[in-house]
Structure 1
Amino acid sequence: MIFNAKNRAQQAELEALYRSQAVIHFEPDGTILYANENFLAAMGYTLAEIKGRHHRMFCTKEHAESEAYREFWRQLAAGTFRSAQFMRVKKSGEEVWIEASYNPIFDASGKVVKIVKYATDITQQKRDAIDAACQLEAIHRSQAVIQFNMDGTIITANKNFLDVVGYRLEEIQGKHHRMFAEPAYGNSEEYREFWRRLNAGEHFVAEYKRIAKGGREFWIQASYNPILGINGRPVKVVKYASDITQQKILAADAKGQIEAIDKSQAVIEYTLDGTITTANRNFLSTFGYSLADLKGQHHRMLVRSDEAGGRDYADFWQKLARGQFEARVYRRIAKGGREIWVQGSYNPVLDASGKPFKIVCYATDITKLIQTGQIAEAVVSDTQGIASAVEELTVSIGAISKNMQLSKEAALGILNDSNKSSAAAERLGSSMKLMENVVQLINNIAGQVNLLALNATIEAARAGAAGKGFAVVAAEVKNLANQTTSATEDIAKQIQHVQDVSLTVLEGIQTIERSANSVNTYITDVANSIEEQNLVTREISVNTQKMSASVEDISRRINQISAA
């Protein structure tokens, strides 16, 4: 009675096992004897399709032909129990994973008479485990991973983490996490609260600044993940991290550049249809509006009405909405209708999918530059007039220089003639001196003749009648002598007069000569000065022409900028 009750209990347990598990029976050599419905359903066969065939039908060809497989069945036939996870192949060729035990069944003599396998389909669990393992492997390949006990002491860390912090595993294992924190933070209440919350099961995701070996600072994007045990309580903390130091540096650099642009340029933002969303202080100052005046208004309020209604303006916003960049000089209208010019760029900003979601315009006020271009045009005209006048002045000075050269030559001629006249006057004076000597000689001769005539008269008187004729001749000689004396006196007077005139002429010529020398010196100095002025004027003319060309080029460039 007791035996029957025990058998019934065992039978009930066996039936329960057959209901819950896949069961198959084999000969000790692996030939299939029987399989229950669970096994047949799991593998996709009927009992008739597998009965009498070998177990290898459920294995891959490579495994079935391996020595390990043959050794597996030898051990089972020898009575060795085997339990593990096995990969098998269903009728469809699909792989299936089972958690199975191969149980040798012995007869009364201890001989193995069959093998009974009890199996559970764990394919989905295996797939999930493989997937999780692959994901973990992928995480370990791509991220820095470190594990901590709940008190913050380090359990282990992967190579990526060690590369980031610059330590070997043995240098950090067993030490506290605070070795990576700044001293002030590691000793703070905030840091202790951080670990208390991790112990309570809370996880953290953020950017953290940490300290590597040697005091080097680095930044990580990290998650601290409490891992729960069977009882649902945290047993360890796993941190997954990515080194974002370079991105942080680039972000800081980009932020600095954006702040610099915001300080130096006028910046305004639009929706894709041109509605104003915000503008910085420089833009508001340039255009004379407050943000309240602009926000929600359309960009067309900043352009001329004839331009805002044109096809080109509509195309402009359509291109921006498609992501096309625009940059050139624009004429805009500030508050009160004041016209301004800006060098601007309209920049479509893309979202994560690469689609434009707003437009940012960076602009610089170049109104004064454009006005300078207009002034430059007037300067070009004035400079060209100056250049022409200077050119005419150069020609005029050239003519004056030529005339002064001729005057110099004429003055030299006058000076030479004066020198010749002076020499002639001197020779004339010398001749007058000689004539004075001749007149003196004639006077002496006349005196002697007159004396002889007197003597002859006296002698004629003594001779009486015999001397009358001689007295007549003596009287005539005396008369001739007196006339000669009178004539020579006149000649002497005339010579004296000529000498006086010659002296006056000589003095005049000498004065003229001195004046001519002075004139020649003055003319030479003036001619040299005019020549220098001529050279300077020509240089001014050349430079003025160059300046005119440069100003014209500046004007043209500014006009090109405004027309771009």
Structure 2
Amino acid sequence: MGVFNFLNGEELKIAKHDSLLKSNILKASASNLLVIDKSGVIHYHTPAFLRMTKAYPKDFTVNDGESSLSGKHIDDIANGASSSENLSYLLTHTSGDKHLVSLAEHGFCVSASTITIDENGTQLYVTEWQDNTENKRNKGMVDAIMRSQAVISFTTDGEILSANDNFLSAMGYSESEVVGKHHRIFVDSDYAQSEEYQQFWKKLKSGDVHSGEFCRINKQGEEVWIQATYNPVFDDNGDVDYIIKFASDITAQKQRNADYEGQITAINKSQAVIEFDLEGNILNANENFLAAMGYSLSEIKGQHHSMFVDPSYKLSAEYAAFWQSLKAGEHSEGEYKRIAKGGREIWIRASYNPIFDSSGKPFKVVKFATDVTQDKLKNAYFEGQINAISKSQAVIEFDVDGTIITANDNFLNTMGYRLDEIKGKHHQLFVDEETRQSESYQRFWSELKEGNFFSGEFKRVSKAGKAVWIQASYNPIEDMNGNPFRVVKYATNITEEKLKNAYFEGQLNAISKSQAVIEFDLEGVILNANSNFLAAMGYTLDEVKGKHHSIFVDPAFKNSPEYAAFWEQLRQGVYASGEYKRFNKSGKPVYIQASYNPILDQNGTPFRVVKYATDVTGRTLAVESIKSIMASLTDGDLLKTIEEPLEGDFKVLGESINHFIGELRDTIVKIHTAVETIDTASNEIATGNADLSSRTEQQASSLEETASAMEELTGTVKLNAENADQAKGLASQASEVASEGGKVIEQVVHTMGEINDSAQRISDIIGVIDGIAFQTNILALNAAVEAARAGEQGRGFAVVASEVRTLAQRSAEAAKDIKALISASVDKIGDGNVLVNKSGETMANIVTAIKRVNDIMSEIAAASSEQATGIQEVSNAVVQMDEMTQQNAALVEQAAAAADSMRQQSGELAQRVSVFKVGSSRKPTQNADIQSLNGSKALPKEREVPKQRMKALNPAAPDASDWEAF
């Protein structure tokens, strides 16, 4: 028992010791720990948490003297509308993540974890509180750095972990393109392999910070200069965890500094430089200045600037003001006259530049100067020349993109503008819209901008919108580096000359289009020829150029004194024109109407011959052919025609002449034939006259018999006409009766239709009565059922209902019988209606037929009347024919005498036409009249009935055709 007590005592001591140790640790802890239960009651807190609550009195309600918060509720000490809500959130989220709890004034990062304190599973919540203000301040600083600087992080081996947008933008990469890659992608390949680069990363890995200016390479392979620090970040064990770099892109600044240094170096090499203090005392000077002024540095150092100026200027107020303005920090530049060693006068182009210290105050003056003495002299010479040019020519200046800088009066007067109207405007003001939009115009200014010179004739547009032609040169002016910075145009107005030339060119072009043109030198050597000439002669330009004119003439004429004299006259400036015979490439003659025109130079001396020609070969050949044919016609020769092909209007003339000769030849042949035919016809006419006399007597006898027959026929026809009139009257009466019958039938058809409609309506009414009987039957049945339900009380009502039902059934049956009879009547009425319709159609056909008979009888009556009239006219005609027969006998005797005279005249005509040569093979085509004369005898033509009479006798029906034959 004692041992047991001893053991319990030892365990108790150990437990107390552990409890005391843990309590002291928690009291000494700087952690702000708060232990609460699920309901929010505080069970424990560290002294640090109590101190924190007192440090934030607006966020926590705790008395100054309180040493413990145990037993209080969290809501009682935490101020802020959202504290309990945040507490509930913390109680249900015990993953250990930090969450923001916003109290009245400050925010706190709170992390919660759950502990179990007994066997029953009772849980408490241990929360750790941290002031989030410092974190927010630190985060703001980090955010500011991330916004303003390029930031990238690496592993200690140089592998990229992340990069912000500033860094990625500066280097031209996206984040996915760099993460996981090594830092060496940003450096030159040679530097990446160097020992220096390896040491750089070793030092970073060991914890050394690196800062400075670094040259890096972006994605495009371009150099990027950065001001950067590489900062090792340590973990809790003091080991380097990763490297973070903060950088600023200083590429532009680096380039500017390099540019400044280069400029200063270049200036020292190319210009004279001297430095002064603010009082004007010389501090230093470079070799260029000393050489220009003829001094050594020791001779001028410490001396005043006034040693370089004229004594009178040295004592002037202007000189004192000059240094006063420099002393005030004002810049001065221009061309200055200075005095070199020995009193030599020189001109310098210089700038006096006050140099400022870090506080913005000037502390010295640096002068950059160039000796322009020779340039000054040259400029004076050039200025004199330019003034002279400006007086005689139009001058305008542009910058290299075409903007107008200035223009002289000659240019302004030419274009009609004032200087203020064009200054600052673009050159396109002077060109038309088409030129302004053209590619050649854009290229024109692009090439001027590149320093290319242009000269020539240009069309421009004045203020009034008129075309102005100028002879101009566009001259790019280059600076000392050879770069164009201005364009000067010198121009002369050639508008009047251009108009004259255009007029002359238009005339020459018109001549060249319509005529053959060739040019020779004074020896006759061909210089040029147009397409008209070459086409006429069958050559190409290469075949004639450089050859002598003699290739176009025959050898005999080429070697003649006449041909030599011809060219001698031209060399003396004598004009020649006329019709000339020349020979083409094929050796065929070509006739031309031409003028040879010596062209004189400004001294009146011939230097070229231009020939204008028109090909008249067709005309000449046509005239010769026509002359020959006319001579043959004069001799009576009709066998010759124009065989050569003619051209143009002469072709039509030649064809007309050939046609005329052919027609004339045919006419003569026909006359020959007609004469022979007339002679034969004369004999036939004599024979025919005798035959005609005999027939005339026979005709007279026949006419007497015809007249007698016509009298009998007249009586018969009159009787037919009277009978036809009576038949016409009867037919009219039959037509009227048939029409009345047709109307009656129409009324019957209409009445039958109305009867049919009435029967149909009666059938419909019976159907309604049948329906009512059916409904009554249903109602009686319902009443009987209701009466049966009522028992004894409804028995009398049931008897009535039964009677009503019986009557309804009988009414229904009667309605059915009536409906059947009505339906049968409707069917019979329909049949009767069909028969009546057919009767109507039959009556209509009868009416039509009777009308047709009436019309025929009318036509027969009219025809009979016409026949009577016609027979009377025939009778009259027979009498006239008898009289004409007597006259024909006399005419036969006259025809016999005429035939004899015709035979004599035909003999004379045959003698006349025998002088023409027409050939023996041609046979004329005889016309219808000659053919009839060559036949055995002419048959008399059948007499035609006059058209008016044919119309009058036209029958009403085909049966009258016998009258037409008669």
Taking structure 1 as the reference length, the TM-score comes to 0.51
Structure 1 position 47 matched with structure 2 position 68: no
Amino acid at match of 1:14: S
Q: Distance in 1 between matches of 2:96 and 2:235?
A: 30
Instruction: Give the one of 7, 10, 19 matched to 2:16.
Output: 7
Instruction: Give the one of 294, 315, 330 matched to 1:324.
Output: 330
The answer to whether the 8 Å contact 2:83/2:102 transfers is no
1:401-412 to 2 correspondences below 5 Å: none
Question: Residues 379-416 of structure 1: CA distance to partner in whole angstroms, max 9, x if unpaired?
Answer: xxxxxxxxxxxxxxxxxxxxxxxxxxxxxxxxxxxxxx
The answer to whether the 8 Å contact 2:273/2:366 transfers is yes
The answer to whether the 8 Å contact 1:82/1:103 transfers is no
Structure 1 position 185 matched with structure 2 position 200: no
Amino acid at match of 1:205: S
The answer to whether the 8 Å contact 1:200/1:234 transfers is yes
1:417-428 to 2 correspondences below 5 Å: none
Structure 1 position 280 matched with structure 2 position 286: yes
Q: Distance in 2 between matches of 1:82 and 1:239?
A: 31
Q: Distance in 1 between matches of 2:356 and 2:367?
A: 14
Match of 2:371 in 1: 365
Instruction: Give the one of 230, 243, 249 matched to 1:237.
Output: 243
Q: Distance in 2 between matches of 1:372 and 1:308?
A: 28
Q: Distance in 2 between matches of 1:369 and 1:55?
A: 93
Structure 1 position 71 matched with structure 2 position 89: yes
The answer to whether the 8 Å contact 1:32/1:55 transfers is no
Relative to structure 1, the CA distance from residue 325 to residue 224 in structure 2 (aligned partners, 3 Å threshold; closer, same or farther) is same
Deviation, structure 1 residue 26: 5.8
Deviation, structure 1 residue 345: 1.8
Instruction: Give the one of 353, 372, 381 matched to 1:347.
Output: 353
- Larger-Rg structure: 2
Structure 1 position 221 matched with structure 2 position 227: yes
Deviation, structure 1 residue 372: 8.8
Secondary structure, counterpart of 1:47 in structure 2: coil
Gaps of 5+ in 2: 1-8, 383-966
Q: Distance in 2 between matches of 1:191 and 1:253?
A: 29
Deviation, structure 1 residue 191: 3.1
Residue identity over aligned pairs, in percent, reads 38
Relative to structure 1, the CA distance from residue 55 to residue 251 in structure 2 (aligned partners, 3 Å threshold; closer, same or farther) is same
The answer to whether the 8 Å contact 2:62/2:77 transfers is no
Q: Distance in 1 between matches of 2:140 and 2:269?
A: 50
The answer to whether the 8 Å contact 1:154/1:177 transfers is yes
Match of 2:750 in 1: none
The answer to whether the 8 Å contact 2:90/2:112 transfers is no
Relative to structure 1, the CA distance from residue 339 to residue 216 in structure 2 (aligned partners, 3 Å threshold; closer, same or farther) is closer
Amino acid at match of 1:41: K
Amino acid at match of 2:16: N
1:79-228 to 2 correspondences below 5 Å: 84=98, 86-87=100-101, 89=103, 94-95=105-106, 97=108, 109-111=120-122, 119=129, 122=131, 127=134, 129-228=135-234
The answer to whether the 8 Å contact 1:220/1:242 transfers is yes
Relative to structure 1, the CA distance from residue 29 to residue 298 in structure 2 (aligned partners, 3 Å threshold; closer, same or farther) is farther
Match of 2:273 in 1: 267
Amino acid at match of 1:241: A
Match of 2:523 in 1: none
Relative to structure 1, the CA distance from residue 275 to residue 236 in structure 2 (aligned partners, 3 Å threshold; closer, same or farther) is farther
Q: Distance in 2 between matches of 1:354 and 1:100?
A: 56
Amino acid at match of 1:43: Y
Q: Distance in 2 between matches of 1:229 and 1:135?
A: 21
The answer to whether the 8 Å contact 1:81/1:104 transfers is no
The answer to whether the 8 Å contact 2:278/2:327 transfers is yes
Amino acid at match of 2:75: H
Secondary structure, counterpart of 1:238 in structure 2: strand
Secondary structure, counterpart of 1:269 in structure 2: strand
Structure 1 position 17 matched with structure 2 position 26: yes
Secondary structure, counterpart of 2:354 in structure 1: strand
The answer to whether the 8 Å contact 2:83/2:101 transfers is no
Q: Distance in 1 between matches of 2:222 and 2:207?
A: 31
The answer to whether the 8 Å contact 2:313/2:319 transfers is yes
1:151-550 to 2 correspondences below 5 Å: 151-295=157-301, 297-303=303-309, 313=319, 315-335=321-341, 338-350=344-356, 354-367=360-373
Question: Residues 282-340 of structure 1: CA distance to partner in whole angstroms, max 9, x if unpaired?
Answer: 22222233334444555455446676666655554443343322223444444455554
Secondary structure, counterpart of 1:151 in structure 2: coil
Q: Distance in 2 between matches of 1:241 and 1:82?
A: 36
Relative to structure 1, the CA distance from residue 131 to residue 118 in structure 2 (aligned partners, 3 Å threshold; closer, same or farther) is closer
Question: Residues 104-140 of structure 1: CA distance to partner in whole angstroms, max 9, x if unpaired?
Answer: 786775456x767564x556xx62x444433433333
- Greater Cα offset, 341-350 or 227-236: 227-236
Q: Distance in 1 between matches of 2:159 and 2:44?
A: 56
Relative to structure 1, the CA distance from residue 17 to residue 108 in structure 2 (aligned partners, 3 Å threshold; closer, same or farther) is same
Q: Distance in 2 between matches of 1:241 and 1:105?
A: 51
Relative to structure 1, the CA distance from residue 284 to residue 199 in structure 2 (aligned partners, 3 Å threshold; closer, same or farther) is farther
Higher helix share: 1
Q: Distance in 1 between matches of 2:119 and 2:156?
A: 56
The answer to whether the 8 Å contact 1:23/1:39 transfers is no
Secondary structure, counterpart of 2:334 in structure 1: strand
Relative to structure 1, the CA distance from residue 255 to residue 369 in structure 2 (aligned partners, 3 Å threshold; closer, same or farther) is same
Match of 1:483 in 2: none
Q: Distance in 1 between matches of 2:316 and 2:78?
A: 78
Amino acid at match of 1:47: V
Secondary structure, counterpart of 1:213 in structure 2: coil
The answer to whether the 8 Å contact 2:229/2:247 transfers is yes
Q: Distance in 2 between matches of 1:210 and 1:115?
A: 54
Relative to structure 1, the CA distance from residue 199 to residue 26 in structure 2 (aligned partners, 3 Å threshold; closer, same or farther) is closer
Match of 1:472 in 2: none
Question: Residues 214-257 of structure 1: CA distance to partner in whole angstroms, max 9, x if unpaired?
Answer: 54444333333333444444443333333344444444444444
Relative to structure 1, the CA distance from residue 276 to residue 172 in structure 2 (aligned partners, 3 Å threshold; closer, same or farther) is same
Gaps of 5+ in 1: 377-564
Relative to structure 1, the CA distance from residue 43 to residue 192 in structure 2 (aligned partners, 3 Å threshold; closer, same or farther) is closer
Relative to structure 1, the CA distance from residue 270 to residue 60 in structure 2 (aligned partners, 3 Å threshold; closer, same or farther) is farther
Amino acid at match of 1:290: S
Question: Residues 336-363 of structure 1: CA distance to partner in whole angstroms, max 9, x if unpaired?
Answer: 5555443322223345665445432222
The answer to whether the 8 Å contact 1:267/1:360 transfers is yes
Deviation, structure 1 residue 168: 3.7
Amino acid at match of 1:10: S
Amino acid at match of 1:159: D
Superposition RMSD on alpha carbons, in Å?
4.4
Relative to structure 1, the CA distance from residue 69 to residue 292 in structure 2 (aligned partners, 3 Å threshold; closer, same or farther) is farther
Structure number with greater CO (CA < 8 Å, separation at least 6) is 1
Q: Distance in 2 between matches of 1:334 and 1:206?
A: 48
Amino acid at match of 1:182: D
Amino acid at match of 2:189: P
